[in-house]
Amino acid sequence: MKRLVEFYNRRDNYAKTFGTPEGKAVLADIYRAAGLDRPSYVEGKPDRTAYNEGLKRIGLRIKNILDHSDEQIKELAAHYERQSTNYTSVYKQ
């Protein structure tokens, strides 16, 4: 249950932050800087490609949080609860 509340709060906080006109302008700038509108791959430059992928990961995290539906949040919380239960049982042995 705690995870569920955390996921809802995170999405709501992001939505409030990026829901204003100023927040939307900042979000658009983050998406541009993260390269969500272009490929990450740079031929012959694996280090630059990796760097671009790192930038893109932050933009995608924000986008994914904002795009999660209530049902997706419930599924994520359940997934994390199952994982933490599995890890706990391993450590108790």
Q: What is the pLDDT of residue 35?
A: 95
Residue 44 domain boundaries: 2-92
| Residue spans of the chain under pLDDT 50 | 87-93
Q: What is the pLDDT of residue 82?
A: 84
Calculate the CA dihedral of residues 64, 66, 67, 73 and round it to 10 degrees: 80
Structure tokens, 35: 């390269």
pLDDT in tens, 20-43: 999 999 999 999 999 999 999 999
Q: What is the pLDDT of residue 85?
A: 65
Distance CA 73, CA 86 (A): 20
Structure tokens, 86: 């599995």
